[in-house]
Amino acid sequence: MKRLSLAIVLACCTLAVAAQEEGFRVNFQGTQPTIKDFACAYLASLIPDVEDDEEGDCVGEGVWLYESMQYAIKCQAEGLPLEENGTLTIDQKNGYLIYEQKHDEYLDRIEMCYWNEADGKHKLFAANRWSFENGKPMMGQYDELSFYRYDNATKKMSRCNTPGFDVEYLNKAYALPRTGKDITVTTWEDNGQKTQKTLKWNGHGFGY
């Protein structure tokens, strides 16, 4: 039974990845999706809709934080308190969202935002998951800055290549813009100093 359960978990997670590659629908009310609409669609594409009676929900080490974030969004919408050590900010006006969980010296962070592309037909969505220990990036196994392209006509988005730069993970952390349009890259040098660079948005992608 346990072996069968593991097979179900792996199958569900594989289907979730395939759905991201092929594209998934963003449901919303009104004329345009908000950052909350994008976040909910993204989280739904990652979290398998299945339960395992021995192992609990179909979650792995990489999925629990997304489940916690999904639960936090639901709690906030219903006016309920969030889980202990969790904080959630949804800035609909600026198209920005951040969820954090802090445990002693450890911090897990997920940021999301989107940009209107210059062609007027697409939006670029970014999901930025990063973990820190005592304020310094841990280069965790599931840390990732990923991008998705949303089509205004089909109302679907799918994963796309990083637009204009390569994501580096060693001693680096990326900060998505709550205001403005540019991404900030912070590097921790061997001597303990920090340096920052800006990836500037050009309507299609980013560049230094």
- Tell me the mean pLDDT in the region 1-29: 57
What is the structure's pLDDT at 29?
A: 93
Is residue 147 a contact partner of residue 159, using CB atoms and an 8 Å limit?
yes
* Number of domains the chain contains: 1
Torsion, Cα 151 154 160 163, to 10 degrees, reads -10
Neighbours of 109 (CB within 10 A): 19
Is residue 200 a contact partner of residue 182, using CB atoms and an 8 Å limit?
yes
Model confidence over 129-158: pLDDT tens digits? 999 999 999 988 899 999 999 999 999 999
Domain that holds residue 56: 2-207
Per-residue confidence at 13, pLDDT binned at 50, 70, 90?
very low
Per mean pLDDT, which range of 9-23, 29-43, 156-170 is the poorest? 9-23
Per-residue confidence at 192, pLDDT binned at 50, 70, 90?
confident
What is the structure's pLDDT at 57?
A: 46
Is residue 159 a contact partner of residue 20, using CB atoms and an 8 Å limit?
yes
